[in-house]
């Protein structure tokens, strides 16, 4: 991998963003964090990442609203999105994967290996 792939992590908890950055940077990814939906959208439009890790529960704008805005723009519609959330209810997972068509779904707390596997699966199309 010549060029580092860019992952944008949109998350309202700085500790979670830091954790994601540490895990993915060790695997050779470039990671940018945004605290909240509005900041995340601005960052994505500026940087156009290879992948977005998106929290659902944020104070300024929830993750689904961010996702809808990404889907509504030609510049961002093709960027893969992995939803990262503490909402572990199965209905949310079903909604995320089938209704909204996000690329994957990770529930917190997650293990570093699980995050890496999901990111690689979406970016590289690697096996589970």
Which residues does residue 30 pair with via DSSP β-bridges, in sequence order? Answer: 6
- Which of 36-40, 67-71, 73-77, 103-107 is predicted with the least confidence, judged by mean pLDDT? 103-107
Tell me what pLDDT residue 57 has: 83
- Would 1 be classed as within a structural domain? no
3-state secondary structure 101-126: CCCEEEECCCCHHHHHHHHHHHHHCC
Q: How far is residue 27's CA from residue 83's CA, in Å, rounded to a whole number? A: 20
Q: What is the DSSP letter of 83?
A: E
Residue 31: partners with Cβ closer than 8 Å, 6 or more residues away: 6, 7, 8, 9, 20, 21, 24, 25
Decide: helix, strand or coil at residue 29: coil
- Would 113 be classed as within a structural domain? yes
Q: Which regions of the chain does DSSP assign to beta strands (E)?
A: 6-10, 30-34, 51-54, 81-85, 104-107
pLDDT at 127 over 90: no
Q: In degrees rounded to 5, what are phi and psi of residue 98?
A: -105, -40
Mean pLDDT of 16-31: 96
Q: Which of 75, 69, 95, 72 is nearest to 83 (CA)?
A: 95
The CATH number of residue 116's host domain is 3.40.50.2300
Query: What is the residue range of 84's domain?
Result: 6-123
More confident residue, 24 or 124: 24
- Would 30 be classed as within a structural domain? yes
Structural domain tally of the chain? 1
- Would 66 be classed as within a structural domain? yes
pLDDT at 91 over 60: no
pTM: 0.89
């Amino acid at each position: 991998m010549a060029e580092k792939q860019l992952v944008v992590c949109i998350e309202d908890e700085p500790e979670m963003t830091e954790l994601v950055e540490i895990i993915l940077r060790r695997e050779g990814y470039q990671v940018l964090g945004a605290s909240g939906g509005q900041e995340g959208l601005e960052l994505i439009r500026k940087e156009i990442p290879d992948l977005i890790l998106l929290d659902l529960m944020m104070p300024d704008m929830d993750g689904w609203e961010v996702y809808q805005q990404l889907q509504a723009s030609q510049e961002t519609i093709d960027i893969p999105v992995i939803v990262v959330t503490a909402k572990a209810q199965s209905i949310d997972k079903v909604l995320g994967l089938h209704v909204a068509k996000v690329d994957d779904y990770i529930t917190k707390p997650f293990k570093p290996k699980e995050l890496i596997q999901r990111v690689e699966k979406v970016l590289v199309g690697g096996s589970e």
